[in-house]
Amino acid sequence: MTHGVRVPVHLATLAFGLALAIGCGSSEGEGPTGGAVSGPADTHCAGMAQAVDLSTCHASVPPGTPDYGPTVYNAEADDDECKYHVKFTATPIRRNQNVTFTVTATTLADHQPAPGANIDGEVFLNDTHPAPNSGQQTTEKSAGVYDVGPIKFDAAGRWTVRFHLHHDCQDSTEDSPHGHVAFFIEVP
């Protein structure tokens, strides 16, 4: 009987220690990871393609209100104005850890890599909660392939990551190289 009691106590101690170890480690690279949110594939361009003209980057533009498209599911989509196809992978996404997105951009007009796009990631949880400043930089690894990061998500929830291509160009004329597409990212 004594033996029968001792074993469960040891097991409980072991389980407690294991749980403690996992708990302590969860903020340092363990535990569940997040990522793109699965959902209906983006089809809004449906074969349409808007060619871009780099010379319009700093053109004077008429008044108007360009709208962002809806935030999309999955890890690839066409940009809001059908200029580019954008897909991404990411390092493990956990709360309060630096994440780097690898973004691949091709032009929809000719399906070629989109080099020199100087991608910027606009990252927010909602209208009053942007991601903390984490020294985000963009490096073009090869033509049309970019590392964007570090990006830090400081809360759990469904975030939006909007990639701006040629973000330093005006966003008004149809053929401006500035393109943008926003993805849902779930952070556990």
Q: Choose which of 159, 178, 181, 187 interacts with other proteins (CB under 8 A).
A: 178
CB 158 within 8 A of CB 126: no
Q: Considering only residues 49, 172, 184, 186, which one is a binding residue for other proteins as defined by CB under 8 A?
A: 172
Q: Report the distance separating Cα 148 and Cα 15, nearest Å.
A: 40
Give the x-and-dash track for 13-52 against other proteins (CB under 8 A).
----------------------------------------
Q: Judged by CB under 8 A, which stretch of 46-54, 70-78, 100-108, 124-132 contacts other proteins?
A: 124-132
Phi-psi region of 70 (alpha: psi -120 to 50; beta: other; left: phi over 0): beta
Is residue 170 within the footprint of other proteins (CB under 8 A)? yes
Q: Is 122 in the site for other proteins (CB under 8 A)?
A: yes
CA distance 128 to 110: 38
In whole angstroms, how close is the CB of 55 to other proteins at the nearest point?
14
The amino acid sitting at 106 is T
Query: Hey, which bits of the chain come out as E strands?
Result: 35-36, 76-78, 84-90, 98-107, 120-126, 129-130, 137-142, 145-152, 157-165, 179-187
Told to check if 76 binds other proteins by CB under 8 A, we report: no
Considering only 42, 136, 146, 161, the residue that binds other proteins (CB under 8 A) is 136
* Size of interface with other proteins, in residues (CB under 8 A): 31
